[in-house]
């Protein structure tokens, strides 16, 4: 595809339910980032992959959050036992280089609402 694609666009989960959010980065992009954007806030870093290696997961808020990129392309962000505070837009971004000092392309995001 031409850009970063995320699915689903919208997800409503009952509290305690597990969810999986998918990111298809731009083909050939080495770096992949996940961000969480709460209402009225800027995006906050969650985790970073370089190819299939998860090099930084310091932003994951709890051990309920798990991300993978097993073949170095598609990535999945999984949230177990969702809580209301997990409600946010989850943004995925990819970049062809291994540094954020080059342009990162963002997807449209997945809006997660936990009820």
Partner 1 sequence: DQQVKQNSPSLSVQEGRISILNCDYTNSMFDYFLWYKKYPAEGPTFLISISSIKDKNEDGRFTVFLNKSAKHLSLHIVPSQPGDSAVYFCAATSYNNNDMRFGAGTRLTVKP
- Does the protein bind partner 1 through residue 68 (CB under 8 A)? no
- Does the protein bind partner 1 through residue 55 (CB under 8 A)? yes
Distance of CA 52 to the CA centre of its chain: 14
Binding mask 15-34 for partner 1 (x = CB under 8 A): ----------------x-x-
- CB-CB contact of 11 with 21 (8 Å): yes
Find the binder of partner 1 among 79, 104, 112, 114 (CB under 8 A).
104
Find the binder of partner 1 among 1, 28, 40, 70 (CB under 8 A).
40
The DSSP secondary-structure symbol of 84 reads: G
Structure tokens at 41: 């806030």
Q: Which residues of 28-53 are buried (b: 16+ CB within 10 A; e: fewer)?
A: ebebbbbbbeeeeeebeebbbbbeee
Please give the residue ranges that form the binding site for partner 1 (CB under 8 A).
Answer: 4, 31, 33, 35, 40-45, 48, 55-56, 58-59, 91, 93, 99-101, 103-109
């Amino acid at each position: 595809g031409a850009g970063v694609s995320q699915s689903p666009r919208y997800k409503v989960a009952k509290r305690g339910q597990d969810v999986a959010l998918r990111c298809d980065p731009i083909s050939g992009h080495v770096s992949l980032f996940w961000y969480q954007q709460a209402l009225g806030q800027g995006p906050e870093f969650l985790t970073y992959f370089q190819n299939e290696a998860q090099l930084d997961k310091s932003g994951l808020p709890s051990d309920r959050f798990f991300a993978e990129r097993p073949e170095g392309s598609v990535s999945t962000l999984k949230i177990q036992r969702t809580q209301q505070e997990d409600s946010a837009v989850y943004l995925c971004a990819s970049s062809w280089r291994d540094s954020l000092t080059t342009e990162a392309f963002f997807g449209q995001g997945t809006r997660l609402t936990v009820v």
